[in-house]
Structures are given as structure tokens and as C-alpha cells.
């Protein structure tokens, strides 16, 4: 089984520099033996490798677990999306990694799996919360907002709003409004966006 090492030039780095970096090692094939698309490594993990190390250090208490965290993140994204890494692969990786770290920290709590949902908060943040959270180091805000996200998910289920459910699901995965409108066969993305946020404001003033 092949392994991808990040940074990609790790083996060529001087000893002093190598000793100062915790490399990220990820199996390059999935559990079925299929090679994972390089985009997940090159445009997904590599751009946020320092942030991933920070998550491992901050949430798992050991930066050495960054390979474990990155591998489960990439492999699950690969199983879910295949080679379709979206517009910003690194954002999907970072968002999923935060979620996976939470699960790893609590041992895969069944309660958390039932009552919370992973969300690409950077794609929801600008409209829903009125601020920009492009700084991936603001982990605590992500955890606090998960509580609101879980509430939104339950309210959607209660109202049986299938369109809202689909929009919310795709926002969680990092899709743009144009991509969402195309997949839902809505001619005007802006109309769909207004409909979604109208529902949000009505339910969460």
C-alpha cells in the first residue's frame, strides 16, 4: 500500500528542518484498493497542513496524531465525493477534520453522531452569522456554533422541508449557491438563496 507524505519534499529537507516538522502520512489507496485522487492531497491537505497539526495538538492533545486525523478525513471525503473535491478542497478537508477530531476526542460518541452534524461553517458564516470566519484557527467558535447547527437540523426535520434540507446539506459540504441551484434545477441561484435565508430568519430570528 502506498503512502503520501506531506510536505511532499519531506525526504529532501535538511535534517534540522525535518526534525522540526511532524510529517503527515496518508495511505494513498482506499480500503478497496482504489487509488485516491491526488487532488485531496495536493489541494486538500497540503494547503492546510499546519492547521491540521494545530487541530491534532489542540483537540487530540498530540500533534503526532495528525496523520491519523488526516487519513480518516481524506478517506471519508474520498468515499463521499470521489474525485469531486469541490471549489475549495482545502476547506472541505479542514471542516471535516474539525468534525473528525471531535469524534476522535470523545471516542466516536454515538450521542454526538445522533445530535450534531458536520458543517462547512465558512460557507454558512457570511450570510448566517454576518461575520467572516476564514481564519481556520478559530476552532472554539466552530464548536460553539455546532450547537446552533444541530438545532437547525432538527427544525428542518420537524418542518419536513425537503428543499431546505437539500440546500443545508450542500452548504455543509461547501457547495456554492450556483452549484446548489444547478443540482436542484432552480434557474436563479439568488432566488433559492433568498428562500433559504427567509426560512432561516423566520425560524431563528
- DSSP calls for 55-69: HHHHHSS-GGGHHHH
Q: Enter the C-alpha cell of residue 197.
A: 435565508
Compare 132 and 13 and report the one with higher pLDDT.
Answer: 13
Q: What is the pLDDT of residue 10?
A: 86
> Are 42 and 77 contacting, i.e. CB atoms less than 8 angstroms apart?
no
**Where do the domains of the chain lie?**
1-108, 116-205
Contacts of 9 (CB under 8 A, 6+ apart): none
Q: Which helix (H) or strand (E) holds 26?
A: strand 24-27
Mean pLDDT calculated for residue range 23-51: 91
Mean pLDDT calculated for residue range 114-121: 41
Compare 113 and 167 and report the one with higher pLDDT.
Answer: 167
Phi/psi-derived region of residue 193, left when phi > 0, alpha when psi is between -120 and 50, beta in every other case? alpha
Give CA–CA dist 186/41, Å, rounded: 33
Q: Enter the C-alpha cell of residue 135.
A: 481564519
Q: What is the pLDDT of residue 149?
A: 67
Lowest pLDDT segment from 28-32, 74-78, 121-125: 121-125
> Are 30 and 75 contacting, i.e. CB atoms less than 8 angstroms apart?
yes
Q: What is the pLDDT of residue 103?
A: 80
Kindly provide the b/e burial profile for residues 93-128, where b requires at least 16 CB atoms within 10 angstroms of the residue's own CB.
bbbbbbbbbbebeeeeeeebeeebbbbbbbbbbeeb
Answer yes or no: is pLDDT of 204 > 60.
yes
Q: Which helix (H) or strand (E) holds 127?
A: helix 121-128
Cell 483537540 -> residue: 59
> Are 171 and 162 contacting, i.e. CB atoms less than 8 angstroms apart?
no
Average pLDDT, the chain: 78
SS3 of residue 40 by DSSP: helix
At 18, the pLDDT band (50, 70, 90 cuts) reads confident
Q: What is the pLDDT of residue 110?
A: 43
Q: What is the pLDDT of residue 148?
A: 64
Q: What is the pLDDT of residue 121?
A: 40
Q: Which 8-state DSSP code applies to residue 46?
A: G
Tens of pLDDT, residue by residue over 125-162, are: 444 444 444 444 454 455 455 556 667 777 887 778 88
Tell which residue, 175, 170, 168, has the closest CA to residue 153: 168
Tell which residue, 104, 20, 94, 91, has the closest CA to residue 54: 94
Q: What is the pLDDT of residue 113?
A: 43
Amino acid at each position: 500500500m502506498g503512502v503520501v507524505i506531506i510536505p511532499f519534499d519531506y525526504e529532501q529537507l535538511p535534517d534540522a528542518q525535518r526534525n522540526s516538522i511532524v510529517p503527515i502520512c496518508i495511505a494513498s489507496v482506499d480500503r478497496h484498493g482504489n487509488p485516491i485522487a491526488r487532488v485531496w492531497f495536493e489541494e486538500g491537505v497540503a494547503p492546510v497542513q499546519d492547521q491540521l497539526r494545530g487541530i491534532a495538538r489542540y483537540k487530540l492533545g498530540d500533534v503526532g496524531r495528525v496523520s491519523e486525523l488526516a487519513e480518516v478525513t481524506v478517506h471519508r471525503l474520498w468515499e463521499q465525493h470521489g474525485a469531486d473535491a469541490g471549489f475549495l478542497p482545502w476547506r472541505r478537508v479542514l471542516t471535516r477534520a474539525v468534525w473528525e477530531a471531535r469524534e476522535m476526542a470523545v471516542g466516536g460518541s454515538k450521542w454526538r453522531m445522533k445530535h450534531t452534524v458536520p458543517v462547512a461553517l465558512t460557507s454558512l458564516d457570511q450570510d448566517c452569522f454576518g461575520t467572516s470566519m476564514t481564519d481556520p484557527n478559530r476552532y472554539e467558535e466552530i464548536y460553539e456554533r455546532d450547537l446552533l447547527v444541530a438545532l437547525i437540523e432538527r427544525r428542518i426535520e420537524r418542518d419536513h422541508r425537503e428543499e431546505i434540507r437539500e440546500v443545508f446539506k450542500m452548504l455543509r459540504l461547501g457547495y456554492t449557491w450556483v452549484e446548489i441551484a444547478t443540482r436542484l434545477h432552480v434557474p436563479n441561484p439568488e432566488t433559492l438563496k433568498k428562500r433559504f435565508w427567509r426560512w432561516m430568519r423566520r425560524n431563528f430570528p
